[in-house]
A and B are shown apart, each in its own frame.
Chain A
Amino acid sequence: MSGLESLYQQTILEHSKARHGGTLSEVAACETAWPEGTGQCHQLNPVCGDEITLRLAVDGGAGDSRVASLEWLGNGCSISMASASMLTDLAEDLTVDELARLIEEFRAVLRSRGTLEGDPEELGDAAALSGVAKFPARVKCAMLAWVAAEDALRQAVSTAA
């Protein structure tokens, strides 16, 4: 079962239960307006029903804008939930540009069909999701939170003072 164990590494199973950042309330997730410098995105995988609503806020002026907070509310498979938890750990304190670059890097690894290995220095625990790239049906699961973060980041930056 080596293929399966490379997909479901221990750190992934732990994150899928710990769900760092999975603290967004249902009330907040249903809101339709947010303060300046905040963005929110809902993503749904219609194939399996995995769902996430992710809220992200930035602060600081142009050129030195940083992620101030990231929270999400989600429901889905262990890969999608672990990935959201790992992203939360990474995003804290990153500049807006750093987070955008990180999302690009993660996407490149996940779309590589296993030819690229994530760098733990850059991607932290999320490097353990590199193995998902060999399971094309699961790439969407791993990307769900990151796609939501990308969109929320864009909104947050566009409304930041």
Chain B
Amino acid sequence: MAESRDPSALDRTEVLRIRNDFPLLAHLVNGKTLVYLDSGATSQNPQSVLEAEQEFYEQRNSAVHRGAHTLAAHATVAFEDARATVAQFVGAREEEIVWTANATAGLNLLAYAFSNASIGDVPAESRRFAVGPCDEIVVTEMEHHANLVPWQELCRRTGAALRYIPVTDAGTLDLDEAARVIGPKTRVLAFTHVSNVLGTINPVAHLVGLARAVGALVVLDACQSAPHLPLDVKALDVDFAVFSGHKMLGPTGIGALYGRQELLDALPPVTTGGSMITTVTMERSGYLPAPQRFEAGTQPVSQAIAMAAAARYLMETGMERIHAREGVLAQRMLEGLRELPGIRLLGPAPGVERAALVAFDVDGVHAHDVGQYLDAQGIAVRVGHHCAQPLHRRFGLTATTRASAYLYTTEDEVDAFLQGVAGVRGFFGVK
């Protein structure tokens, strides 16, 4: 198979150099060289990310946004610089980035903020977020449970109705149905930028257009896009977006919520307590503007700093080049799998632009057994429903095997994976 013909894509030499930055990739698993194809679940960390976290604890560790001593000032500067870096990474202003534990926490924050705007004594500026029995929330059939269950719960609490845009056999959103589902009752449209199962890259501009036409707010799940393609939340014109640090070379326990500033400043807080208030009396409290409004209590400071180091690593490498490189890997995986008998591929057909992840069913062998067989060869893939049960049900499946690549994945790894999959049915005695 040819090397990348896209001159903007990372080339083989650069990928090998990049791999040297990731200590874990040199590990042996079951006596075999690790072939890590599970970056869609969690990515590995470059040395600069590991060092950023250690450096904070060795040189700056102290409480941020409180205390007048020098260390506290240094910690606060590092924490806020990290916010500015992550904001730059997605094209936002730093006041528009709220630290969260991960994308799931960001989506829950929004869903709970909307319910806080729907019940009790709500300040005038927050009433625009209220939802009730006359309103609808729209999601899609390809959502990760993280962008489905919080909205189901919001509907249960408020009486709003949940509707969804169906998925076509080709693994794309049914845009004709989208135009019917999104209507005057729609208050929120929440959808994923890139499907974590299908690899489909959704037409954000088109969907935002449908939402704008009816005055609905747009929430983008950017968990699978922020790590892999150039993301500009302003250019996409979404109202909110969420993503996780650990899927973009950063640590676990940190993620971010983007929100347009005028929206964030009017959105009711969810977690309340210290560091997010103005004046507190025994009767009531006033709240700071965003982002502090949403950051009660001690924050994951070293994780935020390490996530910023990850964002810098990605920006220095170049998101365009990573995206182009992953396009090459995606087609190599797809074309290789298509040649194997008994493999059913989910998602867009070869040739269509997609993320570098492929989920598939092996006829006659359960995904759990496929994963176990590959693991014995040092190949790490994800098996199961990938937190997308409704989507699997849509395709008549309960579980699939998913291989997902990243900037450090080599052609040799993809080929080792393809060779591994080619042996699965024989091993389990399926003809």
Give A residues with C-beta under 8 Å from B. 1, 3-4, 7-8, 13, 17, 47-51, 75-79, 135, 138, 141
- For B376, what are the chain A residues with a Cβ–Cβ distance below 8 Å? 1, 3-4
- Interchain nearest-CB distance for A25 vs B (Å): 20
Taking A48-B385, A49-B384, A78-B428 as given, write out 7 further A-B residue pairs in contact, using a Cβ cutoff of 8 Å, ordered by the A residue number: A1-B376, A3-B30, A48-B383, A48-B398, A50-B368, A138-B368, A141-B368
How distant is B241 from chain A, measured CB to nearest CB, in Å? Answer: 28
CB distance B428 to A8 under 8 Å?
yes
Known: A48-B383, A48-B399, A49-B385. A77 touches B30 (CB 8 A): no
Can you list 12 A-B contacts (CB < 8 A)? Answer: A1-B376, A1-B377, A3-B376, A8-B427, A13-B428, A48-B385, A48-B399, A49-B392, A76-B366, A77-B367, A78-B428, A138-B372
Q: Which residue of B lies closest to A1 (CB)?
A: B376
**Of B365, B377, B384, B429, which contacts A47 at CB under 8 A?**
B384
From B367, B368, B373, residue with most partner A Cβ within 10 Å: B368
**Shortest Cβ distance from residue B382 to the other chain A in the assembled complex, whole angstroms:** 11
A11 to B368, CA, bound (A): 18
- Cα(A23)–Cα(B376), bound, Å: 33
* Shortest Cβ gap from A122 to chain B (Å): 26
B415 contacts A by Cβ under 8 Å: no
**Beyond A49-B384, A135-B372, A141-B368, is A75–B398 a contact (Cβ under 8 Å)?**
yes
Bitwise, B9-52 to A at CB < 8 A (1) or not (0) is 00000000000000000000010000000000000000000000
A29 to B376, CA, bound (A): 36
Interface size on B, residues (CB 8 A): 20
B363 within 8 A of A: no
Q: How far is the CB of A48 from chain B (nearest CB, A)?
A: 5
Task: Give chain A nearest CB distance to B72 CB in angstroms.
Answer: 43
Asked if B398 contacts A78 (CB within 8 A), the reply is no
Chain A residues closer than 8 Å to B30, beta-carbon distance: 3
Residue of B nearest to A44 (CB): B398
A-B interface, 7 closest residue pairs, ranked by CB to CB distance from nearest: A49-B398, A77-B366, A4-B376, A77-B368, A49-B399, A48-B368, A48-B384
Closest Cβ–Cβ distance, residue B397 to chain A (whole Å)? 9
Contact A4 B372 (CB under 8 A): yes
List B residues at the A interface (Cβ < 8 Å): 30, 365-369, 372-373, 376-377, 383-385, 389, 392, 398-399, 427-429
Q: In this complex, what residue of B is CB-closest to A135?
A: B372
Separation of A79 and B365 alpha carbons in the complex (Å): 11
Q: In whole angstroms, what is the CA distance A4 to B373 when docked?
A: 7
Q: How far is the CB of B366 from the nearest CB of chain A, in Å? A: 4
A141 to B368, CA, bound (A): 9
Pairwise interchain contact B429-A17, C-beta atoms closer than 8 A? yes
Interfacial chain B residues near A1, Cβ < 8 Å? 376-377
Instruction: Kindly state the separation between the CA atoms of A1 and B30 in the bound complex, as whole angstroms.
Output: 9
Q: B429, A7: Cβ atoms under 8 Å?
A: no
Chain B residues near A8: list those with CB within 8 A: 369, 372, 427-428
Give min CB distance, B372 to chain A, whole Å.
Answer: 7
Chain A residues with CB under 8 Å of B369's CB are 8, 77-79
**A76–B372 CA distance with the chains assembled, in angstroms:** 14
Interface centre among B369, B389, B428 (most CB of A within 10 A): B369
For the complex formed, measure the closest distance between the CB of A128 and the CB atoms of chain B, giving whole angstroms: 16
Q: Nearest Cβ in chain A — how far from B34, in angstroms? A: 16
The complex places the Cα of A76 from the Cα of B399 at a distance, in Å, of 9
For B373, list chain A residues within 8 Å (CB): 4
Q: Which residues of A contact B367 (CB under 8 A)?
A: 48, 77
Question: What is the bound-complex CA distance between A13 and B425, given in angstroms?
Answer: 12
How far, in Å, is A15 (CB) from chain B's closest CB? 12
Residues in chain B near residue A17, CB distance under 8 A: 429
Docked Cα-Cα span, A7 to B376, in Å, equals 11
Closest A residue to B368 by CB, please name it: A77
Contacts of A47 in B (CB 8 A): 384
How distant is the Cα of A76 from the Cα of B385 in the complex, in angstroms? 13
Expressed in whole angstroms, the minimum distance between the Cβ of A132 and any Cβ of chain B is 10
Taking the closest CB of chain B, its distance from the CB of A135, in whole angstroms, is 7
A58 → B minimal CB distance (Å): 32
The answer for the CA separation of A144 and B66 in the assembled complex, in Å, is: 52
